[in-house]
């Protein structure tokens, strides 16, 4: 019986070692792939030849999951497709997506990596040094917010709020506040309710049931991306401040506002009162 127990323990150890050997490369590949995820930028070329000065070429790369986009690379300008990273051979294999009648092609790079830099060497032995850009997919984004007293939501779906102007009269030290009633059409608004676990999007009817008379609400304005000034390059477009109803902004609001607060996000044009 003792011998059988020893044989059983030996078989368990052998199986465990085999599984570890099989899982090891997979785990390494997953860790490397996660390290490579993000946006990288660098340049190649440039210098002087026979009195002619050549400007370096800007190159950028985006990796997210098994998807990749390249811009400005030698023989791979504006290419997108699938990426496979092999830490055993230290290679990156890019398979381009087929577009129309164009067949897919495969490009392979050797790589040397650190947490924030990546050197890729192509089949012609030309290397490019890339730096990882400091970017975040879901931060606690900044939000411009107004907190106002709301009288309610009428039958036409208009949010009625009260804004105040501060006034002083004569020689008194007292400050008086003059109310101004405004009404916002909610047909183009996004409405959220602050709950324990974050903000939940709700309908105008649900908002009407949640609101208590003379309770404060939060108001933010969504910019129009079509009319807003945008800084565009071939590979990226800078859109400006985060939209108040984006996931990143809602994450900030969910951690800041009191549970039960209603948040109304209106188009930017409604920020200016109508005459």
Long-range contacts of 127-134 (CB under 8 A, 24+ apart): 127/44, 128/42, 128/43, 128/44, 128/59, 128/73, 129/42, 130/40, 130/41, 130/42, 130/59, 130/61, 131/40, 131/41, 131/42, 132/38, 132/39, 132/40, 133/38, 133/39, 133/40, 133/41
pLDDT of residue 46: 75
Please indicate whether residue 26 or residue 77 has the higher confidence score (pLDDT).
77
- Name the band, by pLDDT with cuts 50, 70 and 90, for residue 22: very low
Mean pLDDT on 252-268: 95
pLDDT tens, 119-170? 999 999 988 999 999 999 889 999 999 999 999 999 899 999 999 999 999 9
pLDDT of residue 18: 45
Q: First and final CA of the chain: distance in angstroms?
A: 96
Is residue 14 predicted with pLDDT exceeding 50? no
| 146 in Cβ contact with 218 (< 8 Å) | yes
Mean pLDDT on 216-230: 78
Mean pLDDT on 31-59: 84
Q: Which two tokens stand for residue 200?
A: 């939940």
Question: What gap in Å lies between CA 121 and CA 108, rounded to an integer?
Answer: 9
pLDDT of residue 28: 64
Mean pLDDT on 48-53: 76
Backbone torsion region of residue 121, taken as left when φ is above 0, otherwise alpha when ψ lies between -120 and 50, otherwise beta? beta
Collapsing DSSP to helix, strand or coil, 123 comes out as coil
pLDDT of residue 256: 94
pLDDT tens, 71-114? 999 878 788 999 999 999 999 999 998 766 667 889 999 999 98
pLDDT of residue 97: 86
Stated as kind and residue range, the H or E segment containing 256 is helix 247-256
DSSP symbols for 175-244? -EEEEEEEEEE-TT-EEEEEETTEEEEE-HHHHHHH--TTEEEEEEEE--TTTS--EE-SS-EE--SPPT
Is residue 177 predicted with pLDDT exceeding 80? yes
Integer angstrom CA distances of residue 162 from 46, 185, 267: 61, 15, 19
Q: Please, what's the largest Cα pairwise distance for the chain?
A: 105
Q: Which two tokens stand for residue 272?
A: 């200016």
Question: What gap in Å lies between CA 203 and CA 206, rounded to an integer?
Answer: 5
Is residue 30 predicted with pLDDT exceeding 80? no
- Name the band, by pLDDT with cuts 50, 70 and 90, for residue 254: very high
Collapsing DSSP to helix, strand or coil, 28 comes out as helix
pLDDT of residue 17: 53
Mean pLDDT on 219-236: 74
Is residue 4 predicted with pLDDT exceeding 60? no
């Amino acid at each position: 019986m003792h011998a059988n127990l020893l044989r059983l323990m030996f078989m368990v150890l052998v199986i465990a070692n085999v599984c570890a050997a099989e899982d090891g490369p997979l785990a390494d590949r997953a860790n490397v792939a996660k390290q490579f995820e993000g946006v990288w930028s660098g340049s190649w070329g440039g210098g002087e030849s026979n009195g002619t000065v050549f400007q370096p070429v800007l190159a950028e790369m985006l990796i997210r999951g098994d998807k990749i986009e390249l811009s400005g690379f030698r023989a791979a300008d504006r290419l997108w497709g699938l990426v496979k990273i092999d830490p055993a051979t230290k290679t990156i294999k890019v398979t381009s997506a087929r577009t129309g009648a164009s067949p897919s092609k495969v490009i392979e790079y050797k790589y040397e990596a650190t947490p924030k830099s990546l050197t890729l060497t192509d089949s012609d032995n030309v290397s490019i040094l890339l730096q990882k850009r400091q970017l975040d997919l879901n931060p606690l984004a900044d939000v411009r917010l107004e907190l106002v007293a709301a009288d309610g939501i009428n039958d036409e779906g208009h949010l009625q709020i009260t804004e105040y102007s501060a006034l002083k009269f004569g020689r008194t030290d007292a400050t008086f506040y003059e109310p101004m009633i405004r009404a916002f059409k909610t047909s183009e608004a996004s409405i959220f309710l602050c709950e324990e676990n974050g903000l939940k999007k709700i309908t105008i009817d649900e908002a009407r049931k949640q609101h208590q008379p003379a309770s404060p609400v939060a108001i933010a304005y969504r910019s129009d991306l079509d009319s807003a000034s945008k800084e565009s390059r071939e590979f990226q477009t800078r859109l400006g401040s985060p939209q108040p109803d984006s996931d990143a902004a809602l994450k900030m609001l969910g951690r800041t506002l009191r549970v039960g607060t209603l948040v109304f996000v209106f188009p930017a044009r409604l920020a200016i009162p109508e005459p």
